[in-house]
Amino acid sequence: MISLRHILAIVRKELLQLRRDRLTFGMIVMIPLIQLVLFGYAINTEVRHIPAAVVDQSNTGVSRALIQMVEATQVVRFEQRYITIEEAERAIVRADVRAALIIPADVSQRLVRNPAISGRFSPGGQDPTARPVAQWIADGSDTLVAGAIRSLRGMPLGELFREATNTPVPTFEVSLFYNPEQRTVVNIVPGLVGIILTMTMIMFTAAAIVRETERGNIEMLITTPIRPVELMIGKIIPFVGIGLIQVFIILGLGWALFSVTIAGSVWTLLVVTLLFILASLSLGLVISTFAKNQLQAMQMTVFILLPSILLSGFMFPYEGMPEGAQAIADLLPVTHFMRIIRGVVLRDAGIGDIVPDAVWLLGFSLLGLAVASLRFKKRLD
C-alpha cells in the first residue's frame, strides 16, 4: 500500500534541495547556537545588582555601615544619592533606579529597638515600640525585582555591632537535589532543546509543503501516482536527522559552555527526542495543509511557539499555572517533552518514569500524520 520507493524518492529530493538551500542549512546550525548562548547567559531568575538609590536622612556612622551591609548582599548596587524622598521617587519613575532605600534620621534609636538585635538589650521579648530601621521603596511592577528587595526585609543586622548574627534555628532543613548550586542554566539547557526543536521542526516542515505550492511544483506532484501519506512521511524523514543534529549541538554546547551534563541514559534521551521530533514535524505538516504561503506558515509557527515558550514549563513552573493554562499546555507536545527531557538529562529518569508522556507524544505524531495526509488533497480546488 505505502511504497518505500516513493518515500525514498521524496527523501532524496528533499535532501538534494536542502543541500542547495544555504539559508535553511545555516539556520539549522545557527538557531540552536545563538539561542543557546542567548538564553544560557541572559535568562537568570536570580536577581543581583539591582540599580538602587539611597536617601540617607541620618548621615551617621550607623547609617553608612547599614548601607555598606546592604550592598554587601549584592542584591542591589547603590548608584545614586538623593536628599529627598521625592527625588528618589522621580528617579524610580524615570527607571534610573529600580528601588530606593530611605534611612530615617532616627535610624540609631530604631536600631536599638529592632527585634533583630533586641535580644541583646531586652531579652524579655519584643519591644512594643520597635519599628523597622529603614524603608525601601521599589518598582513593584517587576515581580522579580520586588521579590529580591523583599528578601532584604529580614536581613540580619548583628554585624552592625560586630557580632555573630543571632540567626534562629531554621524550621526546615532543605537539601537541593540535582542542581545544588541553583544555576538557572541547568534547567534552561534541556528546556531549550524542546523550544528550539518546536521552532525549527514546525517551521521547516510547514514551509516544506507550502514551498511546493508556492513554486507550482504541487501541480506536477499531484499528477503523479504518489499518495499523500507517502509524501508526508518522505517530507519529515530528513528533518528527523536535522532535529537530532540540533539536539547534539544544544546538549554539546550546554556541556561545553555551561557544564550541564546528561545524568540519564543517552539511549532513553534518543528515544524521547525522536518521539518529540516526530510530534513537532507532524504538527508542522498539519500547519502546512492550512497555510497558503510561507508567511502564513511562519505566522502559524509563531502562534504555536509562543505558548510553547510560556506555558510548557520552560520559563515558569507548570505546577504554578492555573488549571486552564495547564489544560492548554497539555495540548502542546513541548510540555510533555519538557517534563521528560529534564527528567532524563537532570534527574536520571529511566524509560519507566516517562512512559505516559512518551506515549502521548507517539499518539500525537500518528494523529498529526493522519490528519495531514487526509487533509492533503491531490486536487487544486
Of 1-9, 89-97, 345-353, 354-362, which part binds another protein (CB under 8 A)? 1-9
Q: Evaluate whether 361 touches 333 at the Cβ level (below 8 Å).
A: yes
Could you tell me where the DSSP H helices lie in the chain?
4-20, 22-42, 61-72, 85-93, 107-113, 115-121, 143-150, 184-214, 217-221, 228-258, 266-290, 294-311, 323-331, 333-347, 351-375
Binding mask 225-264 for another protein (x = CB under 8 A): xx--------------------------------------
| Interaction between residue 5 and another protein (CB under 8 A) | yes
Size of the site for another protein (CB under 8 A): 26
Q: Are residues 368 and 285 in contact, defined by beta-carbon separation less than 8 angstroms?
A: yes
To another protein, the closest distance from the beta carbon of 377 in angstroms equals 10
CB of 228 vs another protein, minimal distance in Å? 11
Q: Rule CB under 8 A: say whether 374 interacts with another protein.
A: no
What's the closest the beta carbon of residue 4 comes to another protein, in angstroms?
A: 10
- Kindly give the interhelix angle for 323-331 and 333-347, rounded to the nearest 10 degrees: 90
Backbone region of residue 49 per phi and psi (left: phi > 0; alpha: psi in -120 to 50; beta: other values): left
Round to whole Å and give the CA distance between 361 and 351: 14
**375 contributes a contact to another protein by CB under 8 A:** no
Over the window 197 to 216, marking each residue x when it contacts another protein by CB under 8 A and - when it does not, the resulting string is: ------------------xx
User: 161-170 long-range CB contacts below 8 Å, 24 or more apart?
Assistant: 161/117, 161/120, 163/120, 166/116, 166/117, 166/119
The CB-of-17 to another protein minimum distance in angstroms stands at 5
Q: In this chain, which stretch among 2-10, 29-37, 284-292, 363-371 interacts with another protein, using CB under 8 A?
A: 2-10
Grid cell listed for 87: 527625588
Binding letters toward another protein, positions 18-57, x by CB under 8 A? --xx------------------------------------
Dist CA 151 CA 186 (whole Å): 23
Q: Cα–Cα distance between 11 and 302 in angstroms, integer? A: 26
CB of 20 to another protein, least distance (A): 5
Complex with another protein: residue 232 or 344, whichever CB lies closer: 232
Q: Which of 38, 83, 220, 295 contacts another protein by CB under 8 A?
A: 220
- Dihedral angle of Cα 56, 60, 65, 71, to the nearest 10 degrees: 10
Q: Where does this chain bind another protein (CB under 8 A)?
A: 3, 5-6, 8-9, 12-13, 16-17, 20-21, 215-220, 222-226, 378-381
